[in-house]
Amino acid sequence: PPPPPHFFFHAHQAIADAQESRGLGDVYKRQLLNIAMTLERTFVAIKPDGVQRGLIAEILGRFETKGFKLVGLKQLTPSKELAEKHYGVHKDRPFFSGLVDFITSGPVVAMVWEGEGVIASARKLIGATKPLEAEPGTIRGDLAVNIGRNVIHGSDGSDTAVFEINLWFQENELVDWNPSDQAWRVE
């Protein structure tokens, strides 16, 4: 099957744009290509416990102040079908049905964040799955105690990021924009 649209966004399209750009110096062109090839997007969701506990601003702020770019944001109570697809890799695990019940029990804040290295960095900001093993300074290390109430989800790799972004968002829900201070974030 053809790759989903968001894949074209961050790999093919951006690289093609950079290659086709005319009238630009080689150095600048190479810089554009580097940016295009390292551009990543990841899916992050504040789970129902994080929403109920009033932690939306705190959690959003961790990614915002880090310097990543928010390109998608919405609140929804996931359907059972969405939850089962999202956690499909865990369908044979004993915690699966409880996990689906939990994630569909109330509103979730779904987000897409963009930036160089954002997939791995988001996982670091989030911390270990078991909050008692998560380092202080991480979201789970600072804000949670229990594996079944670990407040946040983040894609664990580039394939899952593409899959999850396409599962949770329509393409027209993602906003391509440039923060006015971008030159102060990325050299």
Report which of 169, 39, 53, 38 is spatially closest to residue 111, judged by C-alpha positions: 169
Residue 155, contacted partner among Mg ion, ligand UDP, none, CB below 5-8 A by kind: none
Q: Angle 103-104-108 (CA atoms, 0-180°, nearest 5)? A: 65
Tell me: does residue 120 bind ligand UDP (CB under 6 A). Answer: no
| Among 42-50, 72-80, 148-156, 162-170, the segment contacting Mg ion (CB under 5 A) | 148-156
Among 7, 48, 150, 169, which residue interacts with ligand UDP (rule: CB under 6 A)?
A: 150
153 is catalytic: yes
Q: Print burial letters for 33-64: b (CB count within 10 Å at least 16), e (below 16).
A: beebeebbbbbbbbbbbbbeeebeeebbebbe
Residue 70, contacted partner among Mg ion, ligand UDP, none, CB below 5-8 A by kind: none
User: Which tokens hold the place of 180?
Assistant: 């006015």
Tell me: does residue 86 bind ligand UDP (CB under 6 A). Answer: no
Judged by CB under 5 A, how many residues of this single chain contact Mg ion?
1
Helix then strand count (H, E) for the chain reads 10, 4
| Per-residue contact string for residues 24-63; x = within reach of ligand UDP by CB under 6 A | ----------------------------------------
Residue 21 CA to residue 42 CA, distance in Å, equals 27
Write down the catalytic residue from 6, 10, 86, 153. Answer: 153
Active site residue ranges: 153
Site for ligand UDP, rule CB under 6 A: 95, 99, 129, 147-148, 150, 153, 156
